[in-house]
């Protein structure tokens, strides 16, 4: 039986739900990733990681939710939901899954701009769900030793491993402004609308010209293995 929940029948689901009570919901974004990566970069990365994890821990995998909160990339391309809309959508999806018999929902996030609202899903639906159900929030960059970037070495290497046909290395350029402020100073911008192009110049954080597929495969191995270890602690 497929672990992809959208590929199985109602009957297959009813039988499987007796032994599988964990669902993985990947969430990504649709936003500019420089001139060399597709707008679906975050969604492709988190969908790939989620499929691997779901196979390994025998959980249902949901279709990736590609619509996220990306106003920080304005006026560059972004398709964005308001934070209250994403919170409502994820709350509804979680309630629905719990009603179908799931006990654990793992939200695997691939986009930094989504992360602020995710801890509030449980609070939002606390009165509607049973106390023995769990909603766990994990961001994939928590599981790698490299520093997270945007269309830089990390994300470009990941895409070179996952979807090389969608990467145009001949167009890869490092950020055009020198990012010399402290981490705390950059965090103070709080993903405010338009902040990303303002800070980076060309919408890239990091240097994608250093990326390669080998690095991408190594990162994926590290992320998947560390995620699995934490899930064994949680489940």
Q: Which residues bind Zn ion (CB under 5 A)?
A: 41-42, 155
C-alpha 129: how far from chain center: 25
> Which CB, 47 or 98, lies closer to Zn ion?
47
> Which CB, 47 or 155, lies closer to Zn ion?
155
Q: Which residues contact 7 (CB under 8 A, 6 or more apart)?
A: none
The DSSP bridge pattern shows strands 104-109 and 22-27 to be: parallel
> Which CB, 41 or 114, lies closer to Zn ion?
41
Q: Which residues contact 76 (CB under 8 A, 6 or more apart)?
A: 31, 32, 196, 197, 203
Least Å from the CB of residue 6 to Zn ion: 24
In the complex, residue closest to Zn ion by CB: 42
> Which CB, 72 or 155, lies closer to Zn ion?
155
Residue with tokens 């739900």: 17
Calpha distance 231→235 (Å, rounded): 6
Calpha distance 152→147 (Å, rounded): 10
Least Å from the CB of residue 112 to Zn ion: 8
Least Å from the CB of residue 33 to Zn ion: 6
Least Å from the CB of residue 155 to Zn ion: 5
Least Å from the CB of residue 114 to Zn ion: 11
Tokens of 79: 């398709």
Calpha distance 228→22 (Å, rounded): 13
> Which CB, 33 or 94, lies closer to Zn ion?
33
User: How many CB atoms neighbour CB 9 within 10 A?
Assistant: 9
């Amino acid at each position: 039986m497929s672990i992809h929940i959208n590929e199985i029948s109602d009957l297959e689901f009813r039988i499987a739900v007796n032994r599988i009570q964990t669902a993985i919901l990947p969430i990504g974004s649709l936003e500019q990733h420089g001139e060399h990566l597709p707008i679906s970069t975050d969604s492709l990365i988190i969908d790939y990681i989620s499929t691997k994890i779901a196979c390994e821990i025998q959980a249902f995998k949901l279709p990736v939710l590609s619509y996220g909160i990306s106003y920080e990339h304005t006026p560059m391309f972004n398709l964005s939901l308001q934070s209250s809309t994403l919170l409502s959508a994820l709350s509804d999806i979680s309630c629905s899954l719990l009603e179908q018999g799931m006990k654990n929902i793992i939200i695997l996030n691939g986009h930094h701009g989504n992360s602020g609202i995710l801890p509030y899903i449980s609070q939002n639906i606390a009165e509607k769900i049973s106390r023995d159900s769990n909603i766990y929030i994990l961001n994939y960059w928590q599981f790698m030793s490299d520093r997270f970037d945007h269309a830089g070495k990390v994300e470009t290497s990941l895409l070179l491993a996952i979807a090389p046909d969608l990467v145009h290395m001949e167009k890869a350029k490092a950020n055009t402004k020198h990012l010399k402020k402290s981490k705390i100073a950059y965090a103070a911008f709080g993903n405010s609308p338009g902040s990303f192009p303002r800070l980076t110049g060309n919408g890239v954080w990091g240097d994608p010209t250093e990326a390669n597929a080998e690095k991408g495969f190594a990162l994926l191995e590290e992320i998947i293995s560390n995620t699995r270890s934490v899930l064994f602690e949680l489940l």
